[in-house]
Amino acid sequence: MRLTVVGTGYVGLVTGVCFADTGNHVLGVDIDAEKVEMLNKGQSPIYEPGLTDILKSNLRAGRLRFTTDVDEGAKHGEVIFLAVGTPPKPDGSADLTVLDEAARRTARAMDHEAIVVVKSTVPVGTNEHVEQIMRGCTRHRVVVVSNPEFLKEGSAIDDFLKPDRVVIGAEDRAAAEILRELHLPFVRNQRPILIMSRRAAEMTKYAANSCLAARISFINEIANICEPLGIDVDEVRVGIGTDSRIGFQFLYPGCGYGGSCFPKDVQALVAFARQAGYEGRLLTAVHEVNESQKHVLYEKIHRRFDGKLRDRHIAIWGVSFKPKTDDIREAPAIALIDRLLAAGAKLRVHDPQSLPNLAKAYQNKFVFGDDAYEMARGSEALVVVTEWNEFRSPDFKRLKELMRQPIIFDGRNLYDPATMRRYGFEHYPIGRPVTTNQMEP
């Protein structure tokens, strides 16, 4: 089929390359000319495992192309995916300005009937609203279908090629069937394609993200209760995670969730629930717990150094909001960096993939580098904020030699207290007993 994807960010680009990979002819449209130029040369503007290979092979095969020309996009696709951003407004509700504009411009340029698929995460009722906008701008038949995306940054290609399920929200049976056919190559492992109402599909996406966010805030709250009581939250985590009704996923205490989805989606759900006359108290608490959790590391550092952070050398490992992505939007590390900078600390920061994004945001406010150990050199404390695999088993002996003081603030509970004791580190995890740097006899 001829497909158009409007918006080639994390979701649109992955959608485009994966549909091209199953034989469709895909045109990606983006207003960012630099991005489009890179993509047409086979260079990915984002870091995502496996993305560059699939991008290049489909460009080479002639099934994939990118343009800044919205009109060309509107004329190309039998199915047109809208995958632009839906960022939060100051009151937490979703800002649909970009989506509305993309829908309007696409509809005006259409020269044939089309199925328009809303891939962006949007409040309940938005698909109907987009359909109205588009029908008002074209004489061609437009049917709008909801197809929320559940991919995870860091494993986006894998998630798209092998989804747990595909959700299609459609009132029009024929359109639902075309969407189902498009997705069949990805569900040969018998994963379900769930066809439901557009409103249920829109709500499913918010409910899924809010449920995952709630589990994280729940275990973080348990960790915060364990800490003053001298209980190791990791024992409790295992104690509850082994219950088959609970399980282990998204039940790891840490310094909060971030990214462009969980924080905004929880708040947007609260906002549209309120408009519908319901006060989402649990979801409001999920968000509040997370906002304060993002400051837990700073508070531990502040306490450890009696508030004397001016000119203190602090190393940070991990800035992206999660491993295997370069995305720093709403990352807990950003909250920490801002507070440490405000307190006058001298930072040396390492992240395996997000340093270019960090450089754009901070320019030369601190030192950053590709070598994790170099960034730790001379530091009075190391703060591990993101659980990249390469931080899990560092060369502790070398690290201790390089640092001015062997102190680790462990924002993801990566290190075993016994290991910390053995190497003589002072160790501050989340919800677990602190290790002082007394060597074992």
Ligand X SMILES: NC(=O)c1ccc[n+]([C@@H]2O[C@H](COP(=O)([O-])OP(=O)(O)OC[C@H]3O[C@@H](n4cnc5c(N)ncnc54)[C@H](O)[C@@H]3O)[C@@H](O)[C@H]2O)c1
Residue ranges binding ligand X (CB under 6 A)? 6-12, 29-32, 35, 70, 83-86, 98, 101-102, 120-121, 149, 151, 153, 260-261
Nearest residue to ligand X on Cβ basis: 9
3-state secondary structure at position 316: strand
Could you tell me the smallest distance in angstroms from the CB atom of residue 428 to ligand X? 30
Going from the C-alpha of 273 to that of each of 93, 196, 384, the distances in angstroms are 10, 20, 36
Is the distance from CB of 67 to CB of 28 less than 8 angstroms?
A: yes
Closer CB to ligand X, 72 or 374, in the complex: 72
Residues 6+ apart with CB under 8 A from 401: none
Could you tell me the smallest distance in angstroms from the CB atom of residue 149 to ligand X? 4
Helix, strand and coil percent figures for the chain, each rounded to 5: 45, 15, 40
* Vertex 278: Cα angle to 276 and 282 (nearest 5): 135
Could you tell me the smallest distance in angstroms from the CB atom of residue 260 to ligand X? 5
Could you tell me the smallest distance in angstroms from the CB atom of residue 419 to ligand X? 33
CA Rg value for the chain: 24
Regarding beta strands 79-82 and 2-6, do their DSSP bridges make them parallel or antiparallel, or are they unpaired?
parallel
| Size of the chain in residues | 441
Could you tell me the smallest distance in angstroms from the CB atom of residue 424 to ligand X? 40
Please choose, from the candidates 193, 198, 187, 143, the residue with its C-alpha nearest in 3D space to the C-alpha of residue 167: 193
* Vertex 93: Cα angle to 88 and 95 (nearest 5): 55
Tell me the catalytic residues.
261
3-state secondary structure at position 123: coil
